[in-house]
């Protein structure tokens, strides 16, 4: 699949402009999920992080904006997005190696241990309406079950390493059943658009070799009020700190 040309791209600000990313005008475009995923990762300076399905690099680069001196690597199936991830990393002065390939057949340079693996797997059902934009369809439509993403992460994690993954709430049963036998100490943070709404997305964290009891955490509410008000900013204080200021979420997980 060909690389993106300038005319196909938009120039987007993340974290109040601290991060500037090229993204396709037509195709998969990272938004709040990537920022929330980065915020939930508990990586510390000097540690290694693998981003499975890294797209244009939004989650990894948001993470690196908050946590300095990380050793970042990304795996991306689509060459066009892999190229964008490399360009975005270089543009923002962040070191990141990006490899093209399938997570079920990991490229040789990535067959090593990582302290953290992060992932934002596609979550639209395989039988649903398919986007007419091929790149978008490939990025968002379920091809591999989420259990394959968990298994690939488990293979790449060092003992004691952490998986952080954002997914649809309906995938929770499959996520939890996929953890054994290698991953444990799992926590799930529901993401609710507004107070009293069902959580449509969740963030899962689990540790390789972990033995602690499962924890279901209080939800993170993204917006204030019962409905959207276009005349005012509606993010909650906590969501605003994450999405605008680049704050982290690890304290939520204990």
How do residues 89-141 score in pLDDT, each as one tens digit?
999 999 999 999 999 999 999 999 999 999 999 965 655 444 444 444 454 44
Position 254 scores a pLDDT of: 83
Helix (H) / strand (E) element for 15: namely none
What is the DSSP pairing of strand 157-168 with strand 199-208? antiparallel
Mean per-residue pLDDT of the chain? 91
Contact 136, 69 (CB under 8 A): no
SS3 state at 195 = coil
Cα–Cα distance list, 181 to 44, 100, 147, 150 (Å) = 26, 28, 13, 11
Contact 72, 47 (CB under 8 A): no
User: How far apart, in whole angstroms, are the C-alpha atoms of residue 238 and residue 221?
Assistant: 8
Contact 248, 64 (CB under 8 A): no
50-54, 151-155, 226-230: segment of lowest average pLDDT? 226-230
Give me 133's structure tokens. 């934009």
CA 82 to chain centre: 15
What one-character-per-residue DSSP string does 20-58 give?
EEEEESSS----HHHHHHHHH----TT-EEEEET-TTSH
User: How far apart, in whole angstroms, are the C-alpha atoms of residue 57 and residue 93?
Assistant: 13
- The DSSP symbol for 105 reads B
- The DSSP symbol for 198 reads P
Calculate ∠ Cα 110-249-146, nearest 5°: 45
pLDDT tens digits, 206-250: 999 999 999 999 999 999 987 776 656 689 999 999 999 999 999
pTM (2 d.p.)? 0.91
Contact 145, 174 (CB under 8 A): yes
Position 226 scores a pLDDT of: 75
């Amino acid at each position: 699949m060909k690389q993106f040309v300038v005319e196909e791209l938009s120039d987007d600000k993340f974290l109040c402009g601290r991060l500037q990313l090229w993204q396709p005008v037509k195709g998969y475009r990272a938004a709040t999920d990537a920022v929330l995923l980065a915020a939930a990762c508990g990586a510390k300076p000097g540690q290694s992080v693998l981003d499975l399905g890294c797209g244009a690099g939004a989650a990894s680069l948001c993470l690196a904006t908050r946590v300095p001196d990380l050793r970042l690597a990304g795996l991306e199936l689509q060459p066009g997005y892999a190229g964008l991830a490399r360009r975005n990393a270089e543009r923002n002065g962040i070191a990141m190696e990006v490899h093209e390939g399938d997570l079920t057949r990991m490229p040789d340079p990535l067959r090593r241990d990582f302290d953290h693996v992060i992932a934002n797997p596609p979550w639209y059902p395989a039988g649903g309406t398919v986007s007419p934009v091929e790149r978008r369809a490939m990025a968002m439509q379920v091809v591999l079950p989420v259990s394959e993403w968990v298994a690939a992460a488990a293979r790449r994690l060092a003992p004691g390493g952490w998986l952080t993954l954002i997914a649809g709430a309906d995938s929770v049963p499959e996520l939890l059943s996929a953890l054994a036998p290698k991953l444990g100490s799992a926590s799930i943070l529901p993401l609710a658009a507004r107070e009293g709404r069902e959580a449509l997305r969740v963030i899962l964290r689990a540790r390789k070799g972990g033995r602690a009891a499962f924890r279901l955490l209080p939800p993170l509410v993204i917006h204030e009020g019962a409905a959207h008000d276009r005349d005012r900013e509606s993010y909650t204080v906590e969501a605003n700190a994450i999405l605008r200021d680049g704050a982290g979420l690890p304290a939520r997980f204990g």
